[in-house]
Structure 1
Amino acid sequence: MELEVRHLRVLCAIADTGSLHKAARELGLAQPSLSTQLRRIENALGAPLFVRVRTGCRPTPLGLAVLGRARPLVAEFEAIVTEARATAARAADGFHPRIGATASRAIPGWLRRLRAREPRIEPVLQMNVSARALLDMVAAGRLDMAFVHEVEGSPLRIPPGLRLRVLVEREPQFVTLAADHPAASRSRVRLADLAGDRWMVDSTVDGEWEGLSRVLRAAGLRPQMLHGDYLTAYSLAAIGEVVTVSQPTAHPRHGLAIRPLEGDPIGVRLLLAARTEAELDDVYPDLEEAYWAVAREAPAYREWLGCFGRR
């Protein structure tokens, strides 16, 4: 058996995730198939590269040596593929940047600005609740860039070779609750004001469930937490069934109030990721402009920014 770049990617994925199960999910493979590939690689090299431990997989000394050589080779190969695809795309009739994003009200304005600046640009948008999945797609060349958020306390694993631009270092997350909720009369809501409420959170959003749970525990609260998408959460919040986290750029909806939380205990970092600095330079100014435009249009966020002398 001759080792190929795909085999080196397998080794890097196992080392990065520390688990065959997680590596298989990241690579889009069934775990038995990944285990078979690892055995073949180890047979070809003549010794084990990983050992099973209670917490997952750990590289052997030989595994560490192989990984030390494998990582730069994988990164270099992916850079070659990236540059070739970018050149081919720009040489074609029109440029269609493939943009991935988690939810943000800045996205429509960002796309509109990109089109207005360069008529040949026609972005292709792919939405996903998982920032991790989007970053992996950029690293693999299936997307050109991704605009994602990183929940405070739940850092994202940034694939090797990606370049990052931080749009907002810490964006506060607000709370959405029924307009007639007693706490809605306050300009800033204390978590203690919501002690008797149920929270609904989309647990498929990377870090969201864990991040809110940590904040509530730190405040000494143990409310009931329900799984659900945010469209459902807003509908239930309007009739007083739940409260939920919301981005500060969200616009008020009928029957709902959006309020900052006292002390801003929940925050996210907004990131734009691409494989080259040139790609970031090309689109970042439009994203920045679009974000602050929607920030100024959101009453609660505009007031919060004014209180801190920002923007």
Structure 2
Amino acid sequence: MRHLRLLCAIADTGSLHKAARQLGLAQPSLSNQLLRIERALGAQLFVRARTGCRPTPLGLAVLSRARPLVAEFAAIVTETRAAAARAAGGYQLRIGATASRAIPGWLRLLRARGPDCEPALQMNVSASALLGMVAAGRLDMAFVHEVEGSPLRIPPGLCLRVLVEREPQFVTLSADHPAAAQPEVSLADLAGDRWMVDSTVDGEWEGLSRVLRAAGLHSEMLHGDYLTAYSLAATGEVVTVSQPTAHPRPDLAIRPLKGDPLGVRLLLAARTEPELDEVYPELEKAYWAVAAEAPAYREWLKRARLSGTAQEGNDAQLSRSTM
């Protein structure tokens, strides 16, 4: 079954490197395992090229048999573990997530149900890796974001619930940056700035690159984790992309980008609809609570409502959160 999961991961990601990251393996180890599988079957399953990996005709035939077996085995593991946990008087929800300020409130609301529900959290910068873990039965659900223009590969059999169809991404810059005096920042106002973005987060480097190119900018882009990016932004060394729910700091300004050129979709994924129903209300409540606490996002949502561009339900959720 492990070998079948490996083949599915390579096909889904189209890359040995990405498949290794999704499975939590070193790339040489994954490559060696693939060679052993191909030797055992007596044929090549993938064509390797500089642009990635694609299945051979035989590889497609193997994958068509492997996918339902992997999905069924994952379902057996998930359902058996859940039944055993409930029989023992408790149920641990295995939750995966990319970064979000909604997570602490979500976990707190889930724990408030009582001792029978104990969430266990696993963070990962890769949404694709988390979705793969849900599909493989190693997580019960995952809360992830999908960068606009860089669609995630959703493993077959997963159920999705959209929390926010399009969350605008803001810019974080030094509080004394000239553009920080404006309620919205134009990309042209940042033409002389360097950007820092975490290239290990699925789609974020590519998404920002597209936005800058579309604006006619050739800004320098640096790789770095967002904790480092915020520290450097505070000193004026860089500017960086941030979630609109980011917590204000006196040395940083968090501003919407004029025209909202960059957005993400917020998704909750699980293997079944009942699993989504079990945790979605708490996630929704936690998200809109942190949205109400973020001044720049709160004002953006109000402007979107007045201009008629607010997503249906967003304004009502925000109003309830501020009551």
TM value normalised by structure 2: 0.88
**Structure 1, 279-288 or 49-58: larger mean CA deviation:** 49-58
Q: Does residue 161 in structure 1 map to residue 157 in structure 2?
A: yes
Instruction: Give the direction of change, closer, same or farther, for the CA distance of 1:91–1:80 in structure 2 (3 Å limit).
Output: same
Q: How far apart in 1 are the matches of 2:115 and 2:217?
A: 52
Partner of 1:108: 104
Q: Does residue 182 in structure 1 map to residue 178 in structure 2?
A: yes
Deviation at 1:53, TM superposition (A): 5.2
Superposed CA deviations along residues 125-167 of structure 1, whole A, max 9, x for unmatched, are 1222221222222222222111111111111111222211110
Contact 1:7/1:41, CA 8 A, preserved across alignment: no
Deviation at 1:12, TM superposition (A): 2.4
Query: Of 170, 191, 194, which aligns to 1:195?
Result: 191
Q: Residue 10 of structure 1: SS of its match in structure 2?
A: helix
Contact 2:71/2:135, CA 8 A, preserved across alignment: no
Deviation at 1:188, TM superposition (A): 0.8
Deviation at 1:122, TM superposition (A): 1.7
Instruction: Give the direction of change, closer, same or farther, for the CA distance of 1:13–1:102 in structure 2 (3 Å limit).
Output: closer
User: Following superposition of structure 1 onto structure 2, how do residues 143-292 of structure 1 map, counting pairs within 5 Å?
Assistant: 143-292=139-288
Contact 1:20/1:34, CA 8 A, preserved across alignment: no
Q: How far apart in 1 are the matches of 2:242 and 2:150?
A: 17
Contact 2:93/2:117, CA 8 A, preserved across alignment: yes
Q: Residue 222 of structure 1: SS of its match in structure 2?
A: coil
| Unaligned 5+ runs, structure 1 | none
User: Following superposition of structure 1 onto structure 2, how do residues 125-140 of structure 1 map, counting pairs within 5 Å?
Assistant: 125-140=121-136
Q: How far apart in 2 are the matches of 1:183 and 1:76?
A: 54
Q: How far apart in 2 are the matches of 1:39 and 1:178?
A: 54
Q: Residue 260 of structure 2: SS of its match in structure 1?
A: coil
Partner of 1:86: 82
Q: Percent identity, please.
A: 80
Partner of 2:36: 37
Query: Of 293, 298, 318, which aligns to 1:302?
Result: 298
Instruction: Give the direction of change, closer, same or farther, for the CA distance of 1:58–1:260 in structure 2 (3 Å limit).
Output: closer
Contact 1:20/1:35, CA 8 A, preserved across alignment: no
Instruction: Give the direction of change, closer, same or farther, for the CA distance of 1:253–1:116 in structure 2 (3 Å limit).
Output: same
Deviation at 1:65, TM superposition (A): 2.7
Give the residue type in structure 2 aligned to 1:37.
R
TM value normalised by structure 1: 0.91
Give the residue type in structure 2 aligned to 1:259.
R
Deviation at 1:277, TM superposition (A): 1.2
Q: How far apart in 2 are the matches of 1:205 and 1:54?
A: 22
Partner of 2:318: none
Q: Does residue 12 in structure 1 map to residue 8 in structure 2?
A: yes
Q: How far apart in 2 are the matches of 1:102 and 1:50?
A: 30
**Structure 1, 77-86 or 214-223: larger mean CA deviation:** 77-86
Deviation at 1:265, TM superposition (A): 0.4
Q: Residue 85 of structure 2: SS of its match in structure 1?
A: helix
Q: Residue 117 of structure 1: SS of its match in structure 2?
A: coil
Instruction: Please give the root-mean-square deviation of Cα atoms over the aligned residues, in Å.
Output: 1.9
Give the residue type in structure 2 aligned to 1:305.
L
Q: How far apart in 2 are the matches of 1:221 and 1:54?
A: 28
Contact 2:38/2:45, CA 8 A, preserved across alignment: no
Contact 1:82/1:275, CA 8 A, preserved across alignment: no
Instruction: Give the direction of change, closer, same or farther, for the CA distance of 1:216–1:75 in structure 2 (3 Å limit).
Output: same
**Structure 1, 88-97 or 149-158: larger mean CA deviation:** 88-97
Contact 1:24/1:31, CA 8 A, preserved across alignment: yes
Contact 2:99/2:125, CA 8 A, preserved across alignment: yes
Give the residue type in structure 2 aligned to 1:261.
L
